[in-house]
């Protein structure tokens, strides 16, 4: 679980990016950065899925944690874009874009 605020997360990720820049020349170092990035993206995906797809969790969403997860996700996705899954992309898209008119009209109404 993420417990750092955005400024601290930013500083940590900036340090990681500097390390990544230097280890990209080394295959083993690049593999470690990719493994770390993949793990962080997976954790973001699990958290966002729970918050957005579970009705009870969505009611109790912590805005600061949401911001922290989205910020971290965006920063790490820049380091490891190959590890951004389609589900993760769609979760973020659902937060940023309102549903289209066709999506609204295609919903089945209970009445």
Judge contact between 49 and 87, C-beta under 8 A: yes
Q: How confident is the model at residue 24 (pLDDT cuts 50, 70, 90)?
A: low
Taking Cα atoms as reference points, which of 77, 65, 70 lies closest to residue 16? Answer: 77
Give residue 13's pLDDT band: very low, low, confident or very high (50, 70, 90): confident
Q: Based on C-alpha coordinates, what's the Rg of the chain?
A: 17
pLDDT at 106: 58
């Amino acid at each position: 679980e993420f417990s750092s605020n955005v400024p601290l997360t930013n500083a940590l990720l900036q340090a990681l990016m500097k390390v990544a820049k230097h280890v990209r020349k080394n295959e083993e170092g690049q593999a470690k950065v990719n493994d770390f990035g993949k793990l962080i993206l997976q954790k973001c995906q699990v958290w966002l899925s729970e918050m957005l797809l579970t009705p009870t969790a969505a009611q109790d969403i912590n805005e600061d944690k949401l911001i922290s997860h989205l910020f971290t996700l965006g920063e790490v996705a820049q380091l490891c874009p190959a590890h951004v899954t389609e589900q993760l992309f769609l979760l973020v898209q659902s937060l940023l874009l309102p549903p289209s008119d066709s999506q609204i009209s295609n919903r089945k109404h209970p009445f």
